[in-house]
Amino acid sequence: MSFPKKFLWGGAVAANQLEGAWLEDGKQPNVTDIMVGIGSKDPGIQWNPDLKKYEMHLDPNKAYLSHEAIDFYHRYKEDLSLMAGMGFNCFRTSIAWGRIFPNGDEEKPNEKGLEFYDHLIDEMLRLGMEPVITMSHYETPLHLLTEYGGWSNPKLITFWKNYASVLFHRYKGKVKYWLTFNEVNAMLRNPFVAGSVLTIKNPKDPSDPIGSTTKEDIWQGYYNILVANAWTVKLCHEIDPNAKVGNMMTASGVATYPETCNPDDVFGAYQTQRWAVYYMCDPMVFGEIPSYVKALWKKNPSYTPEMHADELQLIKENTIDFISYSYYRSSVYASDVNMVSNTGGIKGKDNPYLKECSPQPWAWPVDPKGLRLLINTFEDRYHLPQFIVENGIGLDENLDENGKIDDPFRVRYLEQHLKQVELAIEDGCHVMGYLWWGPIDVVSAGTGEMKKRYGFVYVDRFNDGHGTLERKIKNSYYRYKEIIESNGEKL
Ligand code: BGP
């Protein structure tokens, strides 16, 4: 039997994609609340020329599904019991930063927000599920971007430390696994959401806030996030020595293959991996800003952030306990192709060896072996336990005439990926657990829609916002349950 005895089996979601109740009990908007999908070009803010600042500006013609999402805020008991029914011994969700510190810069936390998570975490524990908590899953309070410019401002480190210590004190002894920032390595390609960086001083073109974000601000944000990550590790270890802190990377970019053995393609593929993933993961594991990042700063001196010796020492001394990541797909690098990206990872050329992909318009290629490659690569590079905290496939599904959903494609995807996890463990890799992304249908992060469904549990809600929110079990639910119950033997 390959899967270790205490293997963590479960699923992962994020507050902003399922809780709804976006302004309830004192919560204020966060960065994803104002967008219909993080891939949107419209970030939901507008420049006020009189005040010389950005303000929230929602489009009345758009459906912001995340505002109600699947109403987990009021239905979490029912949903958690459905998860427990599959035998989950672990469940990942995020704490919405803006429920605890609505604007982000308050001194005292919002007790109402904490109470919700008290109940949620207690319920998980009651059902035998280890809570895995993301501290910010694309959920920086909007106020911190519009007033402070987000993570490029060192004040955010102070606000974050306050938030982190409130969480560690409150959930001491209850939460053993903390993840800092969801897919924070996506910040070079999506600075507004993944990095929560916004240029607020004389933006080049205020009508295009995302395009106006400067490289200088992004690199300062990168550095400040590394400092905040190190503070998180330090505070957690001091307050609750039994708890562990991991980072969270979108790791699909590591499975970037060169199109040919032309050294240009091979080196280009390596550079893609580096600037997609390693530039962020390396310093969190090794405690040093990588030489290739410093080389880039040397070539572009204005990118060099303001750094302090004590903070660099902090980064050195407070490295993460484990790495965690999402994996959805692989990609193919060719020197003549522009490598663009989305929530699935990097898109390059089509891979003729891969036979399946998720349906149009998403069309993410299915590459289970890419996951084995990724796990092995991380094992060799980082020598740390690994936690796969997101893997899954989004399908467009409707109930059949009998009110059921048969989803053999999802079952195949699950089995094939788990088989590769098993092989990676046999290769000698240290994998702590596997979490399916979106075990219940949630609002898509990338496109803000309901139509892209990942769940083993269906939720009756649609892109135009209508639906009863009723939950229904899909056939794949029973297969995952069987796999979990046998600790992966019945794969
Ligand atoms: C990851 C995010 C998740 C999630 C997933 C699937 O990037 O961490 O929040 O939603 O991708 O992406 P999507 O919802 O766009 O299909």
**183 counts as catalytic:** yes
Cα gap 66→342, rounded to integer Å: 19
Give me the pLDDT at residue 43, please: 87
384 neighbors 321 (Cβ within 8 angstroms): yes
Q: How far is the CA of 352 from the centre of ligand 1 (A)?
A: 25
User: pLDDT digits over 326-362, tens only?
Assistant: 999 999 999 999 998 899 999 999 999 999 999 999 9
**Best residue for ligand 1 mutational test, from 92, 343, 347, 413 (most atoms within 8 Å of Cβ):** 343
Using CB distances shorter than 6 Å, the residues near ligand 1 are 14, 17, 182-183, 250, 326, 343, 390, 394, 437, 444-447, 452
List 150's β-bridge partners, or say none: 197
Residues 6+ apart with CB under 8 A from 12: 91, 92, 93, 132, 389, 390, 435, 436, 437, 438, 439
List 234's β-bridge partners, or say none: none
Point out the residues of the chain with pLDDT beneath 70.
Answer: none
Of 123, 259, 379, 390, the active-site residue reads: 390
Classify residue 33 by its DSSP letter. Answer: T
Of 147, 183, 397, 449, the active-site residue reads: 183
Measured from the Cβ of residue 14, the count of other Cβ atoms closer than 10 Å reads 26
Give me the pLDDT at residue 41, please: 83
Residues 6+ apart with CB under 8 A from 208: none
pTM greater than the 0.85 cutoff: yes
């029914």: which residue's tokens? 85
Give me the pLDDT at residue 179, please: 98
φ/ψ (deg, to 5) at 325:
-165, 165
Q: How far is C-alpha 290 from the geometric centre of its chain's CA atoms?
A: 23
Atom of ligand 1 nearest to the CA of 248: 8
Q: How far is the CA of 459 from the centre of ligand 1 (A)?
A: 17
Atom of ligand 1 nearest to the CA of 39: 15
**489 counts as catalytic:** no
Give me the pLDDT at residue 3, please: 97
Atom of ligand 1 nearest to the CA of 445: 14
Handedness of CA 470, 475, 476, 480 (dihedral sign): positive
- 261: three-class secondary structure by DSSP: coil
